[in-house]
Amino acid sequence: LGDAPILIDGIQSAKLGREITGDDLKGMHGAFVQMQPVAGAMAGVRSLIGMGFDVWIASKPATGRPNTYSEKAAWILFHFDELKRKIILTHDKGMLGCAEDYLVDDRIHKANCTSFPGKLLHFGWEAGALDWADLVDFFRTQQPTYPRFRVRVP
């Protein structure tokens, strides 16, 4: 989010007299819950799960803003119910995963993403970054890291 202009709604913008920045957003209670998923995200996540990938969601809460922990979790639960037991809120994404894993992130310069031991995929709006269509196409060429096993309990 950084300092890029973000337009949440006319009411919040009018209060500030300007467009809302990422730093403004971090301080607004309820702002994260109001956001909509990025175009293609819901279908993309479901496609990856359908391909057999073990999808988790890792998000960095805003430092010093306790409300962002619960708001981000509430947002995930609302939009991605299938990930309700696969939520990681952390300031250090570099400690996640192993060499066979993938981390898809839009802010690879934050949350220690560059120390992630697996393959880091840059998602986003900058030149060279992947969008959801690119990600789904990429993962179609990959094998799921952890094959699904059927376990029967007597």
d(CA 106, CA 111): 11
**With bands split at pLDDT 50, 70 and 90, how would you rate the model's confidence at 145?**
low
**CA-to-CA distance for 129 and 54, rounded, in angstroms?**
23
Give 146's pLDDT tier (boundaries 50, 70, 90): low
Q: Is the pLDDT of residue 54 over 80?
A: yes
The CA distance from 147 to 143, in Å, is: 8
Strand partners, 105: 122
